[in-house]
Structure formats: C-alpha cells, structure tokens
Amino acid sequence: MVYDLIVIGGGPAGYLAAERAGQGGMNTLLFEKRSLGGVCLNEGCIPSKALLYSAKIADNARDGAKYGVDASGVALNHPAVIKRKNKVVRNLVAGVKAKMKKNKVTVVEDTAFITGRSPEGYQVKAGDTVYTGRRLLIASGSVPIIPSIPGAKEGLERGFVITNREILDLEQVPEKLVIVGGGVIGLEMASYYNSAGSQVTVIEMLDHIAGATDLEISQILQKNYEKKGIRFMLSSRVTKIEENAVVYEAGGQTHRVEADKVLMSVGRRPATEGLGLENIGVELDRGAIRVDERCQTNVPGVYAAGDVNGVSMLAHTAYRESEVAVNNMLGRKDIMRYNAIASVIYTNPEVAGVGETEQSAAEKGIDFEVAKLPMMYSGRYMAENEGGDGICKVLIDKQQRKLIGVHMIGNYSSEIIYGAALMIEMELRVDDVKELVFPHPTVSEIIRETIFEI
Ligand code: NAI
C-alpha cells in the first residue's frame, strides 16, 4: 500500500500534520519512536506547566497574608506534584492517540529510517517493514545541546548533569541546583525548584537572562527572582563539571559552585541525525533542514515542520508550520509568516512578548516609538498583584503608525499576548486599536491604556 503522506515524528508538528492530513482525506502514516506528543507533551511545555502551576499555588498561599488569607504551614509536596504532572501528560497523550484514530491515521511506534525513493514514492523502513509514501513530512524535533565542557558527558552518564527530560521527573528536590543557561528552560525550572525549596544558581554566558526578551523586562524578571533567593552569575562561562560542583569563569576569575544536580539548558539543536535524509538528498543549513515559506525542502514532496527546520523552535510555530505544509500538499495556497509569533516564559511573574523589541527594532534601523506603563494601571492587576512591578511596552512604526511589538511582564501575560499577536498579524494601526473595546476589569486592558500613551 502507498500512503499519501508519511510523517516522521509525533510531536506538535507531526501529530497536528497527521490530523490535518487525515481531515483533508489523505491516507496518512505517522511514526513515533518514543511517545506520541513528543517533547512538548511528554517532557517540555505541558509537564513544566503542570509543575509551575503547583508552584504558583504554593507561592500564592505563602503570600496569603498580603491578601488577608491565613495559610501558614504551606508546603509543596514534590512527589505529589510529579504524580499529578504524570496524570496530566497521560491524559493528553491519550487525547492525541484518540485524534489519530478519529482521523484514520496509522500510527507506528517505532524508529523510522528513510532508505530511498521508488517510482511509487519515498521509502521508509521501521524494523523489517518498508513503507512507501507519496509525500514525507519530517517532524523529528530537536535535542538538547550538550556543550563540550570537560566533565559534562561523564556528569550526564552518572545522572549528575541532567536535561529538560530528567528535571521534570526528579524524585527528590535537590538541595543545591545549578542551572547552566539562563534561557527559557533554565528560568522556568529555576522558578519551580526555587518554589520547591532548592538553592538555585543560574550561570549564564550573556550579560542578561532570557535571551532575546526585551532587556528591561529581563532585568525586572531577574530582580523578582533575586528577591526570591535565586543567584544569577552573568557573563560567566562554565569551564568544568566536577564530581559535585560546577567551575566557571567570570571577570577573569575562576569560581566554583557546589551542586547536587546540574541542569544543562544551553539551547537545543534540530534532530536530523539517523533519519536517512542523505538517502533522498535533503539539504541542511547549519544543522537544520532548509525549507521554503511553504515548509517544503529542496526535495519535491518532502516537507519539514517544527524544531527540525530550526526557524523558530516553539511548539506553536510547529503547529502552524505543519498546517502550512499540509495545506500545500492538498493544493491550498498557504505560506508561513514569522513576524507575529509570540514568545512566553511561564515564570511567576509571567513574561510574554511579540514582534520587535526596542533592541531588534534599533538593529533593523526601524523608525519606531515606544510607550510604556506599569501594570498597576490595570485595576485587575492591582487587585491581584500586591506589590507587583510588571510593565507593558508597546512599539509602533512611526511612519505607518502601526503596531510592531508588545512586551509584558506580569501575570496573565501568557494568556493576553495572543491578542497583541493578532493586532500585529492584522497590521492594526494605533487608531484601530484605540477603537477596540476590551473587557473590564482585565489585565489585558493595559495594552489599550499603553497605546493611548502614544
Ligand atoms: P535558550 O536558547 O532559550 O537559552 C539558552 C541560554 O544558555 C542562552 O541564554 C545562552 O546564552 C546560554 N548559554 C549557551 N551556552 C552556554 C554556556 N556554555 N554557559 C552558560 N550559558 C550558556 O535554550 P533553552 O532554555 O535550552 O531552551 C531550548 C528551547 O526550548 C528553546 O529554543 C525554546 O524555544 C524551547 N522552550 C520554550 C519554552 C517556552 O516557550 N516557554 C519553554 C522551554 C523551552
């Protein structure tokens, strides 16, 4: 039998592509070597959010006195948190399985290897069976980067150095947790383990945390976490992983920090090895599969969506890319646009942003204007965030007077930011947004308020 589409990888890009292809009437086969749902559902986005929600409940309860609530003796029960997280993951994986069934997708839980091409289509081998598909979608995701620091590999082997996978399943809260890399994974895990009682140290190579986040917001986030007891070692380079310590250099000096566990969160790279891509001539660009705006590779009928194409390594980007790929397979015109993809860090307070930051706009030479307000201008924020220091920042293109960026720190930002993404995607002008009615009282109103500052 020849499938209309073979999908390799069952994460957000792969399972959604299979679902959409099934809905579109394509006879689809999906390979997954670990667990349906991929990194996002099993060892990334979802489990981390389950952990962080438990931490948020504990943090709020500890802060209860500020709100007239007596909740003394609050403790976070880590094993119970992990147990609940596992239940959430199990249910969602079952949900993905059900969707595959509903859309008549054949799922093979095995490792797929592309062997070549025949007149009928592309050939993919798993075990002793060879499958043929008229089209291929590579959605094999990404893997953590392990830098070649002396001791890192050995540390990983003995479970002292861990990645996003193991940190979500630790049986015990480490007394001393050292996190190498102050990006999204590092900060979210610093947040949880700080709430769970670890003494957390974040070692970051750059002079700021949270990567490409608006610099002012990154500094507010850092201050919030320093107040909670997290130590940040910035402009610091890890040089060695020892038996129970991490050695790093900063300002020309060597420092050593003791650890019970070390989380390595210095980025991820596309998972392109061992797939047999070379057997059909798929081109890579700096380790990622090169795709065009339709998510098609250089090989006709072969597409790549999600982290493996390295464009924007986020689950929500993967969703949209997979739809673009499938729409093109079905003969519907569709292309990827990346300028309005929001990014969120689910710390407490949450950080969310979309579009240009002051830094990126300046680098691009855009003539822009910025307006900024404290979140306290929102009544709802004030009512629910005693002493909160969140801000909202809006950037507009001065010539066209349209929105080009919105950045926020403060709770519910993660749920609000899609509205800002919509405004940027629809190229709304300042005057258009001024005419929109936001529900009151909501934290989202801060966007409207900020725009009135322009
Ligand atoms: P990242 O790229 O966000 O951050 C890595 C950080 O490590 C950077 O700040 C970098 O400067 C630093 N770094 C690199 N090498 C270093 C070294 N040798 N020593 C010290 N610092 C070093 O990568 P991260 O946090 O590992 O996340 C990986 C991917 O997972 C991201 O691409 C992200 O898209 C995704 N993710 C997204 C989340 C979200 O959207 N909320 C949450 C978690 C992960």
Active site residue 440: yes
Q: What 3-state DSSP class applies to 201?
A: strand
Rounded to the nearest angstrom, the distance between the alpha carbon of 385 and the centre of ligand 1 is 28
Q: How many helices, marked H, and strands, marked E, lie in the chain?
A: 14, 24
Task: Return per-residue pLDDT of the chain as tens, 454 residues.
Answer: 999 999 999 999 999 999 999 999 999 999 999 999 999 999 999 999 999 999 999 999 999 999 999 999 999 999 999 999 999 999 999 999 999 999 999 999 999 999 999 999 999 999 999 999 999 999 999 999 999 999 999 999 999 999 999 999 999 999 999 999 999 999 999 999 999 999 999 999 999 999 999 999 999 999 999 999 999 999 999 999 999 999 999 999 999 999 999 999 999 999 999 999 999 999 999 999 999 999 999 999 999 999 999 999 999 999 999 999 999 999 999 999 999 999 999 999 999 999 999 999 999 999 999 999 999 999 999 999 999 999 999 999 999 999 999 999 999 999 999 999 999 999 999 999 999 999 999 999 999 999 999 9
In testing the pocket of ligand 1, which one of 48, 265, 345 has its CB within 8 Å of the most ligand atoms? Answer: 265
Integer angstrom CA distances of residue 235 from 85, 181, 206, 238, 250: 34, 11, 5, 10, 6
Angle value at C-alpha 305, between 15 and 321, nearest 5 degrees:
85
Catalytic residue among 208, 255, 316, 440: 440
Best of 180, 185, 202, 409 to mutate for ligand 1, by most ligand atoms within 8 A of CB? 185
Structure tokens at 372: 């900024």
- Compute the distance from residue 245 Cα to the ligand 1 centre, in Å: 21
**How far is 411 from 346, CA to CA, in rounded Å?**
9
Residue spans of alpha helices (H) in 3-44: 12-23, 38-43
Residues with CB under 6 A from ligand 1: 147, 180-186, 188, 203-206, 211, 237-238, 265-268, 313-314, 343-346
Tokens of 201: 């140290």
Q: Can you give the pLDDT at residue 207? A: 98
Residue of the nearest CA to atom 26 in ligand 1?
A: 267
pLDDT in the model for residue 416 = 98
Measure 100 CA to ligand 1 centroid, in angstroms: 31
DSSP states along 348-379 = SS-EEEEE--HHHHHHTT--EEEEEEEGGGSH
Angle at 180 between CA 174 and CA 183, to 5 degrees: 110
Q: How far is the CA of 105 from the centre of ligand 1 (A)?
A: 34
User: pTM for this one?
Assistant: 0.97
Q: Calculate the dihedral angle through the C-alpha atoms of 401, 404, 410, 416, rounding to the nearest 10 degrees.
A: 90
Tell me the C-alpha distance between 306 and 295, whole Å. 9
